Structure 1
Amino acid sequence: MLNILGRSGGWTSVRFFAKDVRFGVEARSLLLQGVNILANAVAATLGPKGRNVLIEQLLISPRITKDGLTVASNVQLKDRRLDMGAQLLRQATNNTNNDVGDGTTTATILARGMACQGMHVLRKGQVNVQLLREGILEASRAVCEALSEMSQSVDTIGQVEAVAKVALNGDERLAELIGDTILELGDKGVILLKESHGPNDEVKFEEGITLPSGYCSPFFALKSGKDNLELGNCLVLLTLAKLDQVEQILPALELARVKEQPLLIMANDFAGDLLKILVLNHLQGRVQVCAVKAPGFGEEQRQEMQDLSLAMGALLLEDASWLTNLREEDLGEVVSAVVSPKETHLLQPIKVNEEQLQSRIRHIRQLIDEAVTEEELHRLNTRLGRLQGQLATIFVGGSSDLEVGERKDRFNDALHAVRVAISDGVLPGGGTAYLRCIPALDRLPPAQVMEHQMGREIVRDALRLPCYTIARNAGVNPDEVLRRVLAGSGNYGFDAASGEFGDLVARGIVDPTKVLQAALADAAGIASLLATTEVLITKRPIKPKIPRNQITRDLAKLVGM
């Protein structure tokens, strides 16, 4: 506590909170406790016989999952020193998820193994920690190269389904659903996940361009006698302006009348009086027209309308002043437009600049690679699907919200695994691929310094852990499984689902090459930092003061204070 002179001339008390500082073995021991808690929680989910984790959620039902990233994200420890260890390990899972979208559990197990071994080595003293870190990273790079050499390409839908089946913990029906979807869309197709309102899973394919906004007035569909309005050989006007006067769209209406074609107008907004005029023109048969509000808001709306203009071969009119000088080539044209109360389907655009469209697609794919949040990734994938003209949505069903959430997590992991498998190939699963890389470490040139050799040994021991953990979760003797798999060669490994040994690739038990590489690389980076930590600085815990009345006590208890 320090007393200082305030503005009014009086003395004011200012409190400075001390920090807790720990050194050497004690600091690493505290970090390791946090690492072990998080790793044990995540490791329980690995393999076809891995266990579920139940996660409390404030004010709503608990969440049940086998997704390693979800489990790791929810492990928060009360002790700040232990929580720092958990946070560092969580960073390995986040990095792997951001890189490939799968393999987070494997990354956690590898990182914990390397960190534990590294800390054990440092207890012996007289070790250069930076050289040790270099040895760990050098060995991990050698293993990644060996994985690339072993990689086998994915050429059939059966192999795709095998990858999905492993990620889905052996669920063949769901793996076939993903395989059928990719067979329909192709390996570059866009697949979205949504929650179903029923117990069954289903896939909905959307041809052409589908927008989440329908007609602005139900009177546009009055003459059709149905909810949907169908416009054949339709002109399309795209603008970001808010239309409030009929004079603004007279040039477009006149063009449609002269060409005797329907006109679809998509704008930021429409004034009520203008809508009445458009409906009247439509019902009286002067010009077949329909008004649709542009999807999205703000900058997001601008981007989606720019996408649409390229896909339609139209010019996006930025404001109302552009409408007065409208030319025929500024309008897009489609073979058919189907407009419902909630959606607009634009089928088979007629005039499209393929070069510009493909450039836009490449740009969005680059943004997808750089996306950080799930929301951003979902929005970019939706835009990509529209531009490519075909989109699939898998509606994930279940008997309860808990089941739907858990199955959606597994679907998401499976889709990511399938993507990277198609692009980079696959390897025998069950931890076998890592065991086959141990000889690659033996073939490295002799280490020049002792610490480099120690780093290689740390990575060598960690490569055994995925297979060991899968076997332990399956309820068999993990040491015996390791012995038999190491004695074999090639694709020979342990099938934890059936409890048998054999050719894992032939059995459809495979892991994407890129997932295994990313998991190892991220684990080595984080583990080497954990193992070489010397000082740990945290804030001392401060117990909040809770008012004594019963209501505030109950609220404080509810939020964990």
Structure 2
Amino acid sequence: MLSRLGRSGRAGVRTFANDIRFGAEARCLLMQGVNVLANAVATTLGPKGRNVLIEQLLISPRITKDGITVANNVQLGNRRQDMGVQLLRQATNNTNNKVGDGTTTATILARGIACQGMHVLRQSKVNVQLLREGILEGSRAVCDALGEMSQSVDTIGQVEAVAKVALNGDERLAELIGDIILELGDSGVILLKESHSPFDEAKIQEGITIASGYYSPFFAKQSHTLELENCLLLLTLAKIDQVEQILPALELARLKERPLLIIAKNFGSDLLKILVLNNLQGRVQVCAVKAPSFGDEQCEEMEDIAFATGGHLLEDASSLADLSEEDLGEVMEAVVDAKETHLLQPINVNEEQVQCRIQDIRELIDEAFTDVELDRLKTRLGRLQGHLATIFVGGTSELEVSERKDRFNDALHAVRVAISDGVVPGGGTAYLRCIPVLDELPPTDIMELQVGREIVKDALRLPCYTIARNAGVDPNEVLRRVLKGSGNYGYDAAAGEFGDLVVRGIVDPTKVLQSAMTSAAGIASLLATTEVLITKQPTKPKIPKNQVTKDLAKLVGM
């Protein structure tokens, strides 16, 4: 009996062995994955870059030229190679999170730096930490040079030029973005939605935006964005721990058959589970959002939202129990994603109270002492004034709409950072103009530092080279002619001509190129200096012999 128990106990334990690779072999496996990802992403760079078609389970494929979308969909079956993919993807995600554009450029630079770094390690014994320091030093010098080269964006024409580059030369769409920026100002909020027609359309709507998204992604179900039409709004500074605290609000929403958006100081974890389960079961559509800011600022901002949406701010749990229909705000639509909440077209707003509130804030702006206080008050003023634009992206098919939305999104991010930090010549020319800066750095006797600088210098040629190659011309000849020139002289890949790129409206946001360089150097230097690679041995899942289960397993690739 004891022996049988021992055997059955051992049989129920699953063991995993680690696969360990060292030195050049480990780096070679990582580089194989890096090359796959970089080759897939690089095809999208430039005005004549190619599209990438991505399979999606059970729905139509997706077509895109967006670098971050391509990078996030590359996954390799070999775990060791896939670790290279994951590391390089960090460079794209870091750039995308900071500036929302430049992911393809970051990928190309990171692959170039990593490849050169690994080549150096194969040739001789070097101090890898000093090599990494040399690469990072070179990237910092490039970022400083880009900052000095930057030109401010002062006109709508320059804004449209930035948008045109991100939109692959589409002048009409660039003018649409320029008109919206002219209407809203550079701090206006712009949303993207799918149109039900083949045409693009922009609408300016009244609404407010708060810098806080849904508490849990499960509120949005399959999508990354939750849209609530004809929505009720509960605003409170109380921490909501029990579902009983919000039962009156939930009951009102159920009776009126309208969704409910709750913005509160905090939520209990058990309550969130109940609300998510409620959503999944289709009872009352509800979403939980954390109140913006902290302390006194939180109270002021929540009061602003209450004024702007026609509701009342409930300050404690006792007021939740006595809630009435008049306490709830109302908006025609609420759009909630992971980072922001947009409240569109408020209903039943007391305009006199709102105008009094706006006047009070303007008086506070006149008395403000610090820049931080001034920025906060201006943000509150813009929220109460409530202008927001929605671009309805059209197309003849779902594939086209998806691809155009990606391009619109990149263009909007590029415009934002261009307005805040300026622009430099596009087409990879700005990076080429940074090469002399690296040559002028103070000489060093440490071989690894100098090699690191040279690695960065070689990588700076890659964006221009890739754009020319995607355009179907001789990339070496393009590089030679652009390097021979100076200033804004570069290659216009869309027209197939050389000239002053700034005059031609081919510019890149300075911050995008700086962020791409910084992210690429950091990730690539870690890749190049990796010595040991540890992965789990793959295990084949046991699939029951039931035919239906077999079919499902086959469908998901098991």
Q: Is the 8 A contact 2:132 2:529 kept in 1?
A: yes
Distance in 2 (alpha carbons) for counterparts of 1:443 and 1:190: 43
* Residue 344 (structure 1) aligned with residue 346 (structure 2): yes
- Secondary structure, counterpart of 2:417 in structure 1: helix
* Residue 466 (structure 1) aligned with residue 466 (structure 2): no
* Residue 450 (structure 1) aligned with residue 438 (structure 2): no
The structure-2 alpha-carbon separation of the partners of 1:323 and 1:71, relative to structure 1 and needing over 3 Å to count, comes to closer
Counting only pairs closer than 5 Å after superposition, residues 304-315 of structure 1 correspond to structure 2 as 307=301, 309-311=303-305, 312=307
Q: 2:10 aligns with which of 9, 12, 16?
A: 12
Q: Is the 8 A contact 2:231 2:331 kept in 1?
A: no
Distance in 2 (alpha carbons) for counterparts of 1:201 and 1:486: 40
* Residue 354 (structure 1) aligned with residue 361 (structure 2): yes
Query: 1:316 Cα shift?
Result: 1.5
Query: 1:448 Cα shift?
Result: 2.9
Distance in 1 (alpha carbons) for counterparts of 2:318 and 2:9: 65
Partner letter of residue 441 of structure 1? Answer: L
Query: 1:398 Cα shift?
Result: 1.1
With 543-552 and 399-408 compared, the bigger mean Cα shift is at 543-552
Distance in 1 (alpha carbons) for counterparts of 2:47 and 2:197: 26
Distance in 1 (alpha carbons) for counterparts of 2:407 and 2:555: 31
Distance in 2 (alpha carbons) for counterparts of 1:421 and 1:273: 46
C-alpha distance after superposition, 1:379-432 (max 9, x if no partner) = xx9x99744511111111111111111111111111000000000000000000
The structure-2 alpha-carbon separation of the partners of 1:354 and 1:447, relative to structure 1 and needing over 3 Å to count, comes to same
Query: 1:532 Cα shift?
Result: 0.4
Query: 1:200 Cα shift?
Result: 1.2
Distance in 2 (alpha carbons) for counterparts of 1:10 and 1:464: 62
Q: Which residue of 2 aligns with 1:409?
A: 406
The structure-2 alpha-carbon separation of the partners of 1:54 and 1:451, relative to structure 1 and needing over 3 Å to count, comes to same
Q: Which residue of 2 aligns with 1:47?
A: 46
Q: Which residue of 1 aligns with 2:26?
A: 27
The structure-2 alpha-carbon separation of the partners of 1:538 and 1:507, relative to structure 1 and needing over 3 Å to count, comes to same
The structure-2 alpha-carbon separation of the partners of 1:147 and 1:546, relative to structure 1 and needing over 3 Å to count, comes to same
Q: Which residue of 2 aligns with 1:165?
A: 164
Q: Is the 8 A contact 1:213 1:344 kept in 2?
A: no
The structure-2 alpha-carbon separation of the partners of 1:491 and 1:8, relative to structure 1 and needing over 3 Å to count, comes to closer
C-alpha distance after superposition, 1:185-207 (max 9, x if no partner) = 00011111111122111111123
Partner letter of residue 424 of structure 1? Answer: D
Counting only pairs closer than 5 Å after superposition, residues 315-354 of structure 1 correspond to structure 2 as 316-318=313-315, 344-345=346-347, 346=349, 349-352=354-357, 353-354=360-361
Q: Which runs of 5+ in 2 are unaligned?
A: 210-226, 239-247, 267-287, 293-297, 334-343
With 169-178 and 509-518 compared, the bigger mean Cα shift is at 169-178
C-alpha distance after superposition, 1:265-297 (max 9, x if no partner) = xx946759999xxxxxxxxxxxxxxx9986446
Q: Which runs of 5+ in 1 are unaligned?
A: 217-235, 242-266, 276-290, 367-380
Q: Which residue of 2 aligns with 1:38?
A: 37
Q: Which residue of 2 aligns with 1:248?
A: none
Q: Is the 8 A contact 1:6 1:12 kept in 2?
A: no
Counting only pairs closer than 5 Å after superposition, residues 186-335 of structure 1 correspond to structure 2 as 186-207=185-206, 214=230, 268=249, 295-296=261-262, 300=288, 303=291, 307=301, 309-311=303-305, 312=307, 316-318=313-315
Q: Is the 8 A contact 2:118 2:529 kept in 1?
A: yes
Query: 1:547 Cα shift?
Result: 3.7
The structure-2 alpha-carbon separation of the partners of 1:10 and 1:316, relative to structure 1 and needing over 3 Å to count, comes to closer
The TM-score normalised by the length of structure 2 is 0.77
- Secondary structure, counterpart of 2:34 in structure 1: helix
Q: Is the 8 A contact 1:67 1:409 kept in 2?
A: yes
Distance in 1 (alpha carbons) for counterparts of 2:177 and 2:134: 41
Q: Is the 8 A contact 1:206 1:390 kept in 2?
A: yes
Q: Is the 8 A contact 2:162 2:505 kept in 1?
A: yes
Q: Is the 8 A contact 1:431 1:467 kept in 2?
A: yes
Distance in 1 (alpha carbons) for counterparts of 2:16 and 2:481: 56
Distance in 1 (alpha carbons) for counterparts of 2:8 and 2:76: 42
The structure-2 alpha-carbon separation of the partners of 1:318 and 1:5, relative to structure 1 and needing over 3 Å to count, comes to farther
The structure-2 alpha-carbon separation of the partners of 1:523 and 1:208, relative to structure 1 and needing over 3 Å to count, comes to closer
Q: Is the 8 A contact 1:268 1:293 kept in 2?
A: no
Partner letter of residue 67 of structure 1? Answer: D
* Residue 395 (structure 1) aligned with residue 392 (structure 2): yes
Q: Is the 8 A contact 1:215 1:293 kept in 2?
A: yes
The structure-2 alpha-carbon separation of the partners of 1:456 and 1:318, relative to structure 1 and needing over 3 Å to count, comes to same
The structure-2 alpha-carbon separation of the partners of 1:49 and 1:302, relative to structure 1 and needing over 3 Å to count, comes to closer
Q: Is the 8 A contact 1:35 1:86 kept in 2?
A: yes
C-alpha distance after superposition, 1:122-172 (max 9, x if no partner) = 001211100000000000000000000000000000000000011111111
The structure-2 alpha-carbon separation of the partners of 1:51 and 1:319, relative to structure 1 and needing over 3 Å to count, comes to same
The structure-2 alpha-carbon separation of the partners of 1:551 and 1:453, relative to structure 1 and needing over 3 Å to count, comes to same
Distance in 2 (alpha carbons) for counterparts of 1:42 and 1:9: 51
The percentage of counterpart residues that share the same residue type is: 71
* Residue 530 (structure 1) aligned with residue 527 (structure 2): yes
- Secondary structure, counterpart of 1:486 in structure 2: helix
Distance in 1 (alpha carbons) for counterparts of 2:331 and 2:24: 69
Distance in 1 (alpha carbons) for counterparts of 2:445 and 2:92: 32
Q: Is the 8 A contact 1:114 1:524 kept in 2?
A: yes
Query: 1:445 Cα shift?
Result: 0.4
Distance in 2 (alpha carbons) for counterparts of 1:118 and 1:339: 56
Q: Which residue of 1 aligns with 2:88?
A: 89
C-alpha distance after superposition, 1:329-362 (max 9, x if no partner) = x9999xxx9989x963445712214179989x98
Q: Which residue of 2 aligns with 1:135?
A: 134
Partner letter of residue 130 of structure 1? Answer: Q
Q: Is the 8 A contact 1:468 1:482 kept in 2?
A: yes
Partner letter of residue 137 of structure 1? Answer: L
The structure-2 alpha-carbon separation of the partners of 1:442 and 1:215, relative to structure 1 and needing over 3 Å to count, comes to closer
Counting only pairs closer than 5 Å after superposition, residues 479-518 of structure 1 correspond to structure 2 as 479-518=476-515
The structure-2 alpha-carbon separation of the partners of 1:37 and 1:209, relative to structure 1 and needing over 3 Å to count, comes to closer
Counting only pairs closer than 5 Å after superposition, residues 69-108 of structure 1 correspond to structure 2 as 69-108=68-107
Q: Is the 8 A contact 2:113 2:525 kept in 1?
A: yes
Q: Is the 8 A contact 1:212 1:344 kept in 2?
A: no
Q: Which residue of 2 aligns with 1:256?
A: none
Q: Which residue of 1 aligns with 2:148?
A: 149
Partner letter of residue 346 of structure 2? Answer: T
Query: 1:494 Cα shift?
Result: 0.2
Partner letter of residue 303 of structure 1? Answer: A
